[in-house]
Amino acid sequence: MRHHRYKVARHLTEVCLDNDSLDISQLLPSFSPFVSDDEGTPVLTMTVSQGSAPDFSHLEEIGQFDCGGANHGVYSTDDGCYAFEISLPEMNGGTLCCCMEANKDFSQCHATLTGNSLHEHQFGLNNAMMMAFAFATATMDTLLIHASVIRNDGYGYLFTAPSGTGKSTHTHLWYKHIPGSDLMNDDNPVVRIVGNECRIYGSPWSGKTPCYRNISAPVGAITRIEQSPVNEIERLKPIPAFATMLPAVSSMKWDRRVYNGVCDCIARLLTMTRIFLLRCRPDEEAARVCYNAIHVPTAQ
């Protein structure tokens, strides 16, 4: 058994390969910036093997979920543990790539790589790690958020929206037109409350944009984007802010431990940072309107 350790948002995770033919640098290349030699206790240990798909037919099916075009089947055992089937997007064949089995709190997981190609192994294990991390840390003031994040003058600004709405386009406009901006993550950053501070962390998961940076910054603001013929922005009050945040966070509504942890963390987050709604066009003016409204003055 070969053990590999990583630290994401200051959470230690471990991947254990039980097959000498598996190469961690090929399976999880986006994890290389997060390598850790910490000897502490991991919040998540993922054991990885290669073989045929386990039989989940005796388990209770919770549902089949569309995750960015890819199908994830979710099942539960009588004692509250979980099993997942992770498949490629239909446009790429819909092949079953990985089956993951997890204990109740996702601290111990096992991934069976069922695909036939390296791409299938990468896709399956990467998705298994992302879900396991989100659910293992859900009670630790940690949120895996579907967002694109730009850093400016030392603060991280998150932009959320359904896929295809223009998150990446808007952060690119900041990068192009707002001096002092750089991209932290383009799809799944991690927000964590540490002490009395809300911080944003880069992660090994960044969608179609290869931006895997082991960096962090205090959260400057979180903004939901909606397409509009005009550029305008407003700060949201607590209830609509909560409603804006909840669908952007990786969660399992049917699991009380995970869901309550997510809701509690969002509630705390709302006392520590500002949430905005930006209705905008994909142009330079939108970036400047947004920046002028949400940026944290460096004097503070």
Tens digit of each residue's pLDDT (9 = 90 or more) over 149-193 = 999 999 999 999 988 888 999 999 999 999 999 999 999 999 999
Mean pLDDT of 202-220: 95
Q: Is the pLDDT assigned to residue 260 strictly greater than 70?
A: yes
Cα 278 → chain centroid: 22
Domains of the chain: 2-136 (no CATH), 142-294 (3.40.50)
Q: Which amino acid is at 57?
A: S
What is the band of 270 on the pLDDT scale with cuts at 50, 70, 90? very high
Q: Is the pLDDT assigned to residue 266 strictly greater than 80?
A: yes
Q: Is the pTM of this model over 0.85?
A: yes
DSSP 163-179: TTSSHHHHHHHHHHHST
Q: What is the mean pLDDT of the chain?
A: 94
Please, how many CA atoms are within 13 Å of residue 166, restricted to the half-sphere of its CB? 17
pLDDT of residue 115: 86
Q: Is the pLDDT assigned to residue 7 strictly greater than 80?
A: yes
Residue 64: how many CB atoms within 10 A of its CB?
Answer: 11
What is the band of 244 on the pLDDT scale with cuts at 50, 70, 90? very high
Residue ranges of alpha helices (H) inside 106-255 are: 118-136, 167-177, 238-245
State the helix-helix crossing angle for 256-270 and 238-245, rounded to 10 degrees.
Answer: 130
DSSP summary character for residue 256: H
User: Cα dist. 217→19, 152, 158, 242 in Å?
Assistant: 38, 10, 11, 22
Instruction: Give phi and psi for 172, each to the nearest 5.
Output: -65, -35
Mean pLDDT of 77-88: 94
pLDDT of residue 300: 42
Q: pLDDT tens digits for 110-143?
A: 999 998 899 999 999 999 999 999 999 999 999 9
Q: Which structure tokens are listed for 45?
A: 């240990």
